[in-house]
Structure 1
Amino acid sequence: MTGTVAYLTKRFPRLSETFILDEILGLEAAGVPLRLYAIADPHEKLVQPDVSRVKSPVVYLQSGAAGVERWRALRETVVAHTQLLRESPRRYLGVVFYIARRRRHLSTVKNFAQAGRLAALLRENDTRHLHAAFAHGPASVAHFVHLLTGLPYSFSAHAKDIYVSAPDLLARKVRDASFVLSCSESARTALTSLAGADTTKVILAHHGVDTQRFTSSEWVGSTGVDESPLRILAVGRLVAKKGYPVLLGALKMMNAAGRTPRCTIVGEGTDREQLTALVNDLGLTTTVEFVGSQTHQEVAEHFHRADVFVQASVVLANGDRDGIPNSLLEAMASGLAVVASDVAGIPEVVTPTSGLLVPPGDALALARALERLDDDVALRQRLGDQAREHVVEKFDRTACALRIAPLFGVEVGTRPGALGQFTVPYVADREG
């Protein structure tokens, strides 16, 4: 099959969106001819070293520059829309009326403008398919490109992008897409429950992690000496849905019970100041250390120094929540015992044999689970071993990419198997 597959995301590269980077690398390794597009450049100071392994250059739809560059981008957008209107006035005006009848939020208008420019770029690069990495902004842009040009499109849905999107618009995106990839079964259920959505198009496709980079080591965890403090690790953006106040509450309870855990929190975010103040208020300044954003390699080193990984995710009032956090998969691949909230897609990876689940928002239950692991080194080791085995079997980056590569026209096997409404080539087991 000729032509390229355009892969559109909101911002690239982002340090916290390692699952996007992993998926891109996995698809390229599987032979999918990707060309990358992003709505904007995040201009983050810290970039994952693996970004340099991405083969495709990145084209940005929105110029962050001032002056001449910004005016050039605006001119290209106007020219692109003018050409689309001239080529197919009925189709173009139909999209305009579709937008006017429903929602005229500024973000919708911006997505429509970006779609015109992207459509022109895709035409120049012999694009056969467009895939968007999120169900909100990127999928809206891709949907508008489809409506304007007829180019087949698909999108991936994760967590927040599902639960904070307008249900009627999201259902239309699902209905018009060639297929939709859902990163968890809970997310798939949310998508298939949308009124008017074509449920046969929604395909479960878990994110994978690099199980060669994140691997267990003989020196994972403490020596088991009774007086050795339990070393707890949490990794993720410092935002409300990660549930850090719940973790801090559990640590306070452990201290009150005479225990002396040590907790390292990796990540940055809008709640940093609030969480630092809470640590001070709870008297946890000698218990908790914030180390900021870290690269993959630095995070891997933290995994090897920890005894237990905690994922204290919660569901916010607006519906925002985690899907299956990549840091959780990375911790399990590293052979760490994990304690995680029983919420969203987390129970799909943390099973009764591979970790401990606690109710979301329950600091007491989290404290009790951590105390159990503090008292039982053998249990920590057993859960860590089984966690790695589970992730290697079900969530390896290469294997996950091979499972979805046929949807993008890449043949990776010969035995047919059904995937939703699609009949795709069988992906052979890695052993044979």
Structure 2
Amino acid sequence: MNICYFVNQYPKVSHTFIRREILGLESLGAKVIRVAARNSPEELVDETDKQELTKTRCIALGNKKGLLKSGFKQFLSTPLNFIKAIGVAFQLAFNDQNRYFYNLIYLLEACELLRICNEQQVDHIHAHFGTNSASVVLLCKILGGPNYSFTVHGPEEFDKPIQISLGKKIQHASFVVAITSYCRSQLMRWCSFDHWKKITIVHCAVDDQLLAKEHKPITKANHFINIGRLSEQKGQMLLVQAIALLKQRNVDVHLSLIGDGELRGEIERFIKANGLENNIALLGWCSTAQIVEALDDCTALLLPSFAEGLPVSIMESLARKRPVLSTYIAGIPELIDEKSGWLIPAGDDMAIADEIEKIIQLTPEELNALGEYGYQRVSNEHDSVQEAEKLLNAIKALES
């Protein structure tokens, strides 16, 4: 079976879960053609991502003439389909704050995607995210391309479901993947009851390297880590505020932030203004090997998110037998409970500080028991091949 994966940007440091899914499908015998609208090679730090870059076709960035050529050829070969696709693109644009120019670009990307699918004899297209990527594969289908499906992660899709025409994309899809039960419930809100049966759950998976490598027991009670894009959504400003509160209480605590993003400057200024240079380290984006090393050297993962799907960093932490402190929002409670970590209200720096202070008082035996339970959960529910098989079976079922 030939499956085309279409993602707005791939590979990407924060999209390792897509890479694992693709490799899982290939281990099951599927041929996966990788197509991205754009990519940023200079951002990649993981060798596996760099290898994925060589396998991925980039159809938009720096390819203006190619897109126009594909659009012209598609109009000549199937003018009625092309006109119909223009109508759908305009419908998408009307919902999307009249962004007609962007949706016409998506139409040209769909023409180029269709050309590749025909060339590679693609049986099915799968996209990740219900935003731009799903728009392109929907338009490709209208042009006469293969059936499509797409995975929704949240929270971006649920912040603007009408603007991105989420219901229309579900309507035309063969099936839709939700990464959690919470995600599935949100999709049900934005499509008719007749389409609920299309929604299936396939979890994001953890890297086998994280699960299989020899585990180190927790020996330190005051070394914490956060992994993710430095953004409002992830709540890192609350973390640094909590560390400042703990310093005022004379609590010895250390935090490493892995990731980068728009909040880095603000976080750096807060660290300097509050004299937290010896308490907080900003490590930037790291490779999988570096993340494993950092997790193995920490007590627990701290992730005080405001909005989420189900963060891959939580799965990565549990894969290394490290418990997790997070917020009881979205799909997080589906994996984290009192047996594998701690859940607190979102948006409360005092609650974070109080919980960290309690964690520091726990014995290594108590911390390791939490990590061990979390490891068993993530091993059973987020195996890359097991989850890829669910997706592959859903695609194969379309042929029967």
TM-score using structure 2 length? 0.92
1:424 and 1:243 map into 2 onto residues whose CA distance is 44
2:399 and 2:182 map into 1 onto residues whose CA distance is 24
Q: What is the match of residue 28 of structure 2?
A: 30
Contact 2:89 2:139 in 1 (8 A): no
2:30 and 2:215 map into 1 onto residues whose CA distance is 37
Distance of aligned partners of 1:140 and 1:40 in 2 relative to their CA distance in 1, 3 Å threshold: same
Distance of aligned partners of 1:166 and 1:309 in 2 relative to their CA distance in 1, 3 Å threshold: closer
2:72 pairs, out of 66, 82, 86, with: 82
2:12 and 2:244 map into 1 onto residues whose CA distance is 33
Q: What is the match of residue 311 of structure 1?
A: 303
1:406 and 1:55 map into 2 onto residues whose CA distance is 27
Q: What is the match of residue 370 of structure 1?
A: 356
User: CA-atom RMSD, angstroms?
Assistant: 2.2
Distance of aligned partners of 1:83 and 1:45 in 2 relative to their CA distance in 1, 3 Å threshold: closer
Deviation of 1:160 (Å): 3.7
Contact 2:70 2:108 in 1 (8 A): no
2:10 and 2:231 map into 1 onto residues whose CA distance is 20
Asked whether 1:152 is paired with 2:147, we answer yes
Answer with 275-284 or 390-399: which moved more. 275-284
Asked whether 1:401 is paired with 2:398, we answer no
The DSSP-based 3-state class of the residue aligned with 2:126 is strand
Q: What is the match of residue 231 of structure 2?
A: 239
Structure showing the higher helix proportion among its residues = 2
Partner letter of residue 79 of structure 2? P
2:331 and 2:107 map into 1 onto residues whose CA distance is 32
1:114 pairs, out of 106, 109, 117, with: 109
The DSSP-based 3-state class of the residue aligned with 1:22 is helix
Deviation of 1:83 (Å): 3.0
Q: What is the match of residue 12 of structure 1?
A: 10
Per-residue CA deviations over 1:27-84 (Å, capped at 9, x if unaligned) read 11122211110001212243322236659821111133xxxxxxxx434323322333
Q: What is the match of residue 196 of structure 2?
A: 199
Contact 1:187 1:345 in 2 (8 A): yes
Q: What is the match of residue 179 of structure 2?
A: 183
Answer with 137-146 or 162-171: which moved more. 162-171
Answer with 112-121 or 195-204: which moved more. 195-204
Q: What is the match of residue 332 of structure 2?
A: 346
Partner letter of residue 150 of structure 2? F
Contact 2:215 2:321 in 1 (8 A): no
Deviation of 1:366 (Å): 1.5
1:33 and 1:55 map into 2 onto residues whose CA distance is 16
Deviation of 1:101 (Å): 4.3
Deviation of 1:373 (Å): 1.4
2:182 and 2:40 map into 1 onto residues whose CA distance is 29
Partner letter of residue 156 of structure 1? T
Contact 1:6 1:129 in 2 (8 A): yes
Distance of aligned partners of 1:101 and 1:22 in 2 relative to their CA distance in 1, 3 Å threshold: closer
1:110 and 1:145 map into 2 onto residues whose CA distance is 12
Number of residue equivalences: 392
Partner letter of residue 406 of structure 1? N
Per-residue CA deviations over 1:297-331 (Å, capped at 9, x if unaligned) read 000000110011111111xxxxxx32111111100
2:369 and 2:36 map into 1 onto residues whose CA distance is 42
Partner letter of residue 309 of structure 1? L
1:55 and 1:83 map into 2 onto residues whose CA distance is 28
Per-residue CA deviations over 1:2-45 (Å, capped at 9, x if unaligned) read x5111111112111211111111111112221111000121224
2:173 and 2:330 map into 1 onto residues whose CA distance is 24
Contact 1:236 1:268 in 2 (8 A): yes
Asked whether 1:210 is paired with 2:207, we answer yes
Per-residue CA deviations over 1:243-275 (Å, capped at 9, x if unaligned) read 011111221222222211011111111111101
Partner letter of residue 377 of structure 2? H
Partner letter of residue 27 of structure 1? L
* Structure 2: gaps (5+ residues): none
Distance of aligned partners of 1:299 and 1:424 in 2 relative to their CA distance in 1, 3 Å threshold: farther
Q: What is the match of residue 118 of structure 2?
A: 123
Q: What is the match of residue 86 of structure 2?
A: 96
Contact 1:217 1:304 in 2 (8 A): no
Partner letter of residue 188 of structure 1? R
2:259 and 2:311 map into 1 onto residues whose CA distance is 13
Contact 1:25 1:53 in 2 (8 A): no
Distance of aligned partners of 1:76 and 1:262 in 2 relative to their CA distance in 1, 3 Å threshold: closer
Q: What is the match of residue 429 of structure 1?
A: none
